[in-house]
Structure 1
Amino acid sequence: MINIATFSYAVCALAFLLLAAFLLSHWRGRARARPLAGACLASALWSAAVALESANQPLLAGWTDGLEILRSGAWSAIVVMLIGRYRRPGGRFLFQLNTPVLLLAGCYVLLLVETATGMLQRAVVPGQGLMPALVARIGIAVVGMLLVEQLYRNKSVQERWAIKFACLGIGGMFAYDFYMYSDTMLFRGTNPDIWGARGIVNALTVPMLAVSMGRSASWSTELALSRRVMFHSAALFGSAIYLLAMASAGYFLLYFGGSWGKLLQVSFLFGAVFLLIGILFSGTFRAWLKVFISKHFYSYNYDYREEWLRFTKTLSEQGPKLSERSLQAVGELVESAGGVLWLRRDSGMFEPVAGWHSPPRHPAVGADAPLCSFLESRQWVIDLDEYAAAPEMYDNTELPAWLPAIARGWLVVPLMLQGRLFGFMLLLEPRSKIKLNWEVIDLLKIAGSQAAGYLAQQEAAAALMAARQFESFNRMSTFVVHDLKNLVSQLSLLIPNAEKHKDNPEFQRDMLETVTLSVQKMRMMLQKLSRSGSEEQPTPLLVDQLLQQAIALKAAFQPRPLLMSSGQKLYVFAERERLERVLGHLIQNAIEATPQQGAVTVKLSHEADSVVIEVADTGTGMSEEFIRERLFKPFDSTKSAGMGIGAFESREYIHQLGGELRVSSEHQRGTTFRIALPRYPLA
């Protein structure tokens, strides 16, 4: 005789089977017909398995728990699919959706673990329900009801009309599950009547689903699950599968290990857990998983809203220098492991200014170099691997010899600003292989332009600050000159007093000595601070003679500078006073940085059409960061009485003459300033 439970679940199986057949035949062209048919078939198969088991038929014995998980997961997926692409302002709804999905994934993982390891007994049999399994099933029911509530509440009035019966049907299934399992947990056993009526209750939802299916033309049609949910869900399920495999291996170690079995099992499981933690925290693994999800689950590689928010936040936050943050922001778009940034300077050279996980120890590149000309004209991203295989794709542009030789160099990204090349980045190879397509390349180009705007704004602000400092300095100089002139006028009033005391030799001697020294000192200050007078005109200068004069003025200092010259007559075209001041400043700095027992050497030579002057010392040296960030920065001095404009003015004047100033230094070994000026030919 057929019992009540068998009849109830058989009716449920038949009802869902008929609905699935109707969906696959008459309504196969309607929205979400196939997924709904799949969910109906899962429900029918589960109901049939329970009906056979309650009738003591072993055909599907042991499969009811797994089929119930499949059935609940199918209807939960249907609800998530029906939610569609709806977004609330500020991402609040996305959070509300992601949280139930992650909770649901956790509950399913718990049930899968218990089922796969053979620990899950049938929770519907009185007295044999395991507490973790019951909690997981109640959690699935609660989260399912939350998803149904989200589906209905976040639809418009027209869509609610179409979706309300589906919400009632699916919500009714989850609500009855919650009631049954809560009763089981409360009374430590399943009520046979409640369990038996479950099939009929599920069958009663079929008409509601059918009515809602008839209105499916008004349903939302697209699913939009955030990449973050996909990433965490994939990591969660992957971890569960890994732990299942490791638990199985641990069981066999315990079973075949004899007296050492327990030790081997515990050691193996702890090692496996630590390995899993290391993998989950690995940047390479996370990068690979993100790329894999974007490649196989989405039509676009990026969630542009999320990526642009992260990109802008990285550029705007406090912390490392903006140049390094720009490298990081652009590099993270393609999972790059590091990079180097070059920016255009006033000298016309593109100089390396920052490195991210890579030191910026690379040569400068001229603005007229083929690489810079190609980047500015084409605005292309250069793939160095592709260039090595087929340089004709990049018009056979000649790259600097050192660029392709950089270890793990990958992409050269131009930083365009108002149609002009502002700089470029070299990005290192990514942690996970990324296929370069037009989407990735276009994203890098627009990100480079955005970074160029931030960097240009920073440089403009720094230039404005320097200009204001110069303005303040000039204003101060004007005030000093004015005060000195007044002081000279006041001292000149002493002359009438001299007439009164001309018969007092002691007064006359003191007055004349005081006036003479004061006037001499003030005239020297006026000469240095005054901006009036005619400007000196550049003339051909004999460099050897100019260096001798500069060194002679420093003869009283220790260590005494030593001149090394080949004796050739080398000329440059410059202003004598300004060039002598530049050379004197470099020699004076070398003397001050060198102990008395050290050495300061000035060497004069020539290379091709250039006159080369090297000022070397054996002093304390300077760090690369100091040379790059502070040495030539105006009004930044390490001396207590320094004004910080000597090195800045020296470099500016050398560049104005068409020359070049380079600095090399080693800590506690010394510094060398190398000046190269165009040689002036004399007939």
Structure 2
Amino acid sequence: MTSIATFSYATCAAAFLLLGLLLASSWRGRPHSRALAAACTVTALWALAIALQAPGDHSSDRWVNSLGILRSAAWSGVLVLLSGNYRKESGKMPFRLQPALVLGAAFYLLYLLGTAAGQWSIGFANERAFIPSVAASVGLAVLGMLLVEQLYRNKPVQERWAIKFACIGIGGMFAYDFYLYSDTMLFRQINPDIWAARGIINTLTVPLLAFSIARSASWSTELAVSRRVMFHSAALFGSAIYLLAMGSAGYYLRYFGGSWGTVMQVSFLFGALVLLVGILFSGTFRAWLKVVISKHFYTYNYDYREEWLRFTRTLSEHGPGLGQRVIQAVGALVESPGGALWIRRESGHCVPAAAWHAVLPSAEEPLDSPFCCFLEQREWVVDLQEYAQNPDKYDSVPLPEWLAGFQRGWLVVPLILQGRLFGMVVLQRPRSPINLNWEVIDLLKIAGSQAASYLAQEEAGNALMVARQFESFNRMSTFVVHDLKNLVSQLSLLTSNAEKHKDNPEFQRDMLETLDFSVQKMRLLLQRLGRSVAPSHPAPLALDHVLREAVADKAAFEPRPSLDIGDATLKVVADHERLERVLGHLIQNAIEATARNGRISIRMARKGDAAEITISDTGEGMSEEFIRDRLFKPFESTKSAGMGIGVFESREYISELGGALEVTSSQPGGTTFKIMLPLHGVEAETVNIAA
């Protein structure tokens, strides 16, 4: 076996020496020819040292393994150079030098790991030095295979044909080293057959390298490593170093632990593995690693292509509502774990619309408030921590009270659409500290504008859908009118014949059947048209009279509503019929939602310059999600025979009068509708009421 190993490694030395001479002479003008020639020379010296090593003589092991380290380092360096030449960026070291420094530090660390026991030996003279040295060799092989994989993956498809044989050849050497030393760690001794075949395996890679060098004119020298690759590579490399260190520590625990050695080793390794998994799945650690990579390896904080693809993909994908996706997409740019979204409405307020990993506040912000005006005019991203230290930088604009109480509030990102404030996103503090420089601020601004366009498109789509539904409703009314016309024709014919045949018993029976059919038909039509919009005739009304009539119409139902008039002198400007229908609809809803033994209370009182009407019940109640997403949406109804426009019409008409409709509910506990209407007077007369 000794003669076979000698022949194997001697052949390897001759093959790499020949390839090195070709690179130094005929192929000296090829890309990276000097680095390739140096790697071939080191490999040839390493193979020659093994071939000349006398059987049983371990005095030269230190030189052999030192050359083995240089061999692995040389081919790893070649892989780094083949990955591309990176243009120098202002104020930073060329990117291609930084991986070289990282690799050099890694090799040095692995070397110290292997020699920690006092010597670098793969023999059996010192068992304590044997396992760490083999583990270090496994780490070098894993690192080499990782570099090969990254090199091939990041090459454009049209350039892979020129580099693939070099990847196969160099990767084959590292892969065989991994196989050799993994087998050694498993059986705690080197397999002589695998060791002897190593020279032949390395020799077989020479033709692959030569064939790839012949195509080296097509090797690209412009390649950039993406941030995703750097992130995963750094995480994988750090995990490998961590596992090697923990494995070595576990080995020494077993060696010095006596009878408890095995138990201590297994417990320690399991705990170390659990800790590693926890760190790798930690959002804070991942955010910190991304920030470190962007800060130390790149001039710019973002890979804009990747960030914009991810941002657009998040906004476009299915799943939670668009509001939550907007918060998630904007927050991901600065590693924020959550936030809330406010959107402007026709009422003149920015209302809370969605929350992501945060409690959604209920406070609204008027669009004419100093804070909203500041956001619209300056289009600035407001850093709440910076504002607390230096409010003069933001013109000392007063912050809303609800913003001061927002949990872990950090940034307010305005959503600007066509020069107007469409809404705002309030983000929570990030998992890892972020430097808010001009690049981050500009990215948040343009992301806010993009998000505003998505939200506006959704709002326009919803408005178009409502318009189409109303068009369908009007079309249905046309058919109802047609049915009424037929009924009127039948009754007119019946009336015209009554005088002539009124004494005929058969005619009387037919007349009664026709009348009964017509009544049933008209009742059905009235139920369908009971919520149709009638012409409005606004005038000063005694509000207590309107409310008493609405309650009286529901007196036959159970539970019977109770009415409390706090001030009977209140007057409002409204259309009597429409206002009574709105109040009647809300009372009817309360009756239908309450059990027979429940209670419905209606109260009217004066509150400042407005009249306040509260309709409370002890029914089943409604969830916050239902109130926010479905209650005021037209054609959404939980009743089997409902048309879903009653509450929508009620809020629209109350808003048309200059008032407001508020809802509070709990499950169980009941629901309270609160109606605020401006009183008839100087202020009320200035309100423009649409007829």
Q: Same fold (TM over 0.5)?
A: yes
Alignment partner, residue 70 of structure 2: 67
Q: State the 1:60 CA deviation.
A: 5.8
Q: Distance in 2 between matches of 1:340 and 1:135?
A: 46
Going from structure 1 to structure 2, the CA distance change for 1:130 and 1:604 (only over 3 Å counts) comes to closer
Q: State the 1:536 CA deviation.
A: 3.5
Q: State the 1:529 CA deviation.
A: 4.3
Alignment partner, residue 541 of structure 2: 541
Deviation digits for residues 384-440 of structure 1 (CA, Å, limit 9, x no counterpart): 111111111111112211112211111111112222211111111212221111111
The 3-state SS of whatever aligns with 2:636 is coil
The 3-state SS of whatever aligns with 1:606 is strand
Alignment partner, residue 94 of structure 1: none
Going from structure 1 to structure 2, the CA distance change for 1:174 and 1:641 (only over 3 Å counts) comes to closer
Deviation digits for residues 347-391 of structure 1 (CA, Å, limit 9, x no counterpart): 222211111112323312221122221111111111111111111
Within-5 A mapping of 1:320-399: 320-399=320-399
Alignment partner, residue 237 of structure 2: 237
The 3-state SS of whatever aligns with 1:334 is coil
Q: Distance in 2 between matches of 1:275 and 1:477?
A: 68
Q: Distance in 1 between matches of 2:398 and 2:448?
A: 22
Q: Distance in 1 between matches of 2:168 and 2:615?
A: 88
Deviation digits for residues 451-483 of structure 1 (CA, Å, limit 9, x no counterpart): 211221122111111111101111111221122
**Letter matched to residue 74 of structure 1:** G
The 3-state SS of whatever aligns with 1:493 is helix
Q: Distance in 1 between matches of 2:297 and 2:378?
A: 33
Q: State the 1:493 CA deviation.
A: 0.9
Aligned partners of 1:620 and 1:668 also within 8 Å: yes
Going from structure 1 to structure 2, the CA distance change for 1:37 and 1:657 (only over 3 Å counts) comes to farther
Going from structure 1 to structure 2, the CA distance change for 1:626 and 1:571 (only over 3 Å counts) comes to same
**Letter matched to residue 588 of structure 2:** Q
Alignment partner, residue 404 of structure 1: 404
Alignment partner, residue 25 of structure 1: none
Alignment partner, residue 98 of structure 1: none
Q: State the 1:606 CA deviation.
A: 2.1
Q: State the 1:670 CA deviation.
A: 0.3
Q: CA-atom RMSD, angstroms?
A: 5.2
Within-5 A mapping of 1:263-662: 263-503=263-503, 511=511, 515=515, 518=518, 522=522, 529=529, 535-662=535-662
Q: State the 1:675 CA deviation.
A: 1.0
Q: State the 1:635 CA deviation.
A: 0.6
Deviation digits for residues 262-285 of structure 1 (CA, Å, limit 9, x no counterpart): 111111111111111121122221
Q: Distance in 1 between matches of 2:497 and 2:156?
A: 104
1:79 maps to 2:51: no
The 3-state SS of whatever aligns with 1:498 is helix
Q: State the 1:69 CA deviation.
A: 2.5
**Letter matched to residue 424 of structure 1:** M
Aligned partners of 1:413 and 1:426 also within 8 Å: yes
The 3-state SS of whatever aligns with 2:251 is helix
Q: State the 1:555 CA deviation.
A: 0.8
Within-5 A mapping of 1:86-105: none
Aligned partners of 1:82 and 1:151 also within 8 Å: no
Going from structure 1 to structure 2, the CA distance change for 1:197 and 1:455 (only over 3 Å counts) comes to closer
Aligned partners of 1:561 and 1:599 also within 8 Å: yes
Q: State the 1:189 CA deviation.
A: 4.2
Going from structure 1 to structure 2, the CA distance change for 1:451 and 1:197 (only over 3 Å counts) comes to closer
The 3-state SS of whatever aligns with 1:435 is coil
Q: Distance in 2 between matches of 1:539 and 1:531?
A: 21
Q: Distance in 1 between matches of 2:198 and 2:414?
A: 72
Q: Distance in 2 between matches of 1:197 and 1:532?
A: 90
Q: Distance in 1 between matches of 2:532 and 2:62?
A: 108
Give me the TM-score of the superposition, normalised by structure 1.
0.77
The 3-state SS of whatever aligns with 2:631 is coil
Aligned partners of 2:634 and 2:648 also within 8 Å: yes
Q: State the 1:179 CA deviation.
A: 13
Q: Distance in 1 between matches of 2:146 and 2:444?
A: 44
Q: Distance in 1 between matches of 2:141 and 2:85?
A: 23
Aligned partners of 2:141 and 2:175 also within 8 Å: no
Alignment partner, residue 28 of structure 1: none
Alignment partner, residue 668 of structure 2: 668
Deviation digits for residues 136-155 of structure 1 (CA, Å, limit 9, x no counterpart): 75995997699599989966
Aligned partners of 1:594 and 1:617 also within 8 Å: yes
Alignment partner, residue 246 of structure 2: 246
Q: State the 1:517 CA deviation.
A: 9.4
Q: Distance in 2 between matches of 1:532 and 1:52?
A: 99
Q: Distance in 1 between matches of 2:111 and 2:139?
A: 14
Q: Distance in 2 between matches of 1:527 and 1:174?
A: 83
Q: Which moved more, 1:438-447 or 1:182-191?
A: 182-191
Alignment partner, residue 94 of structure 2: none
Q: Distance in 1 between matches of 2:551 and 2:175?
A: 98
Deviation digits for residues 30-53 of structure 1 (CA, Å, limit 9, x no counterpart): xx99xx999999998998899999
Aligned partners of 1:338 and 1:427 also within 8 Å: yes
Percent identity (aligned): 54
Q: State the 1:514 CA deviation.
A: 6.4
Q: State the 1:182 CA deviation.
A: 12
Within-5 A mapping of 1:182-193: 188-190=194-196
Q: State the 1:628 CA deviation.
A: 0.6
Instruction: Give 5+ residue unaligned stretches, structure 1.
Output: 21-31, 86-100
Q: State the 1:291 CA deviation.
A: 1.4
Q: Distance in 2 between matches of 1:528 and 1:138?
A: 75
Q: Which moved more, 1:501-510 or 1:172-181?
A: 172-181
Going from structure 1 to structure 2, the CA distance change for 1:396 and 1:37 (only over 3 Å counts) comes to farther
Going from structure 1 to structure 2, the CA distance change for 1:645 and 1:134 (only over 3 Å counts) comes to closer
Aligned partners of 1:246 and 1:272 also within 8 Å: yes
Alignment partner, residue 92 of structure 1: none
Q: Distance in 1 between matches of 2:384 and 2:203?
A: 68
Q: Distance in 1 between matches of 2:387 and 2:643?
A: 49
Aligned partners of 1:341 and 1:424 also within 8 Å: yes
Q: State the 1:251 CA deviation.
A: 2.8
Q: Distance in 1 between matches of 2:549 and 2:517?
A: 25
Alignment partner, residue 91 of structure 2: none
Going from structure 1 to structure 2, the CA distance change for 1:193 and 1:235 (only over 3 Å counts) comes to closer
Aligned partners of 2:361 and 2:402 also within 8 Å: no
Within-5 A mapping of 1:127-206: 140=144, 174=170, 188-190=194-196
Alignment partner, residue 24 of structure 1: none
Aligned residues: 624
Q: Which moved more, 1:256-265 or 1:550-559?
A: 256-265
Alignment partner, residue 188 of structure 2: none
Going from structure 1 to structure 2, the CA distance change for 1:377 and 1:193 (only over 3 Å counts) comes to closer
Instruction: Give 5+ residue unaligned stretches, structure 2.
Output: 1-5, 25-30, 54-58, 89-99, 124-129, 181-190, 684-691
The 3-state SS of whatever aligns with 1:434 is coil
The 3-state SS of whatever aligns with 1:243 is helix
Alignment partner, residue 88 of structure 1: none
**Letter matched to residue 66 of structure 1:** I
Q: Distance in 2 between matches of 1:668 and 1:533?
A: 34
Q: Which moved more, 1:654-663 or 1:513-522?
A: 513-522
Q: Distance in 1 between matches of 2:168 and 2:668?
A: 80
The 3-state SS of whatever aligns with 2:677 is strand
Q: Distance in 2 between matches of 1:492 and 1:341?
A: 61
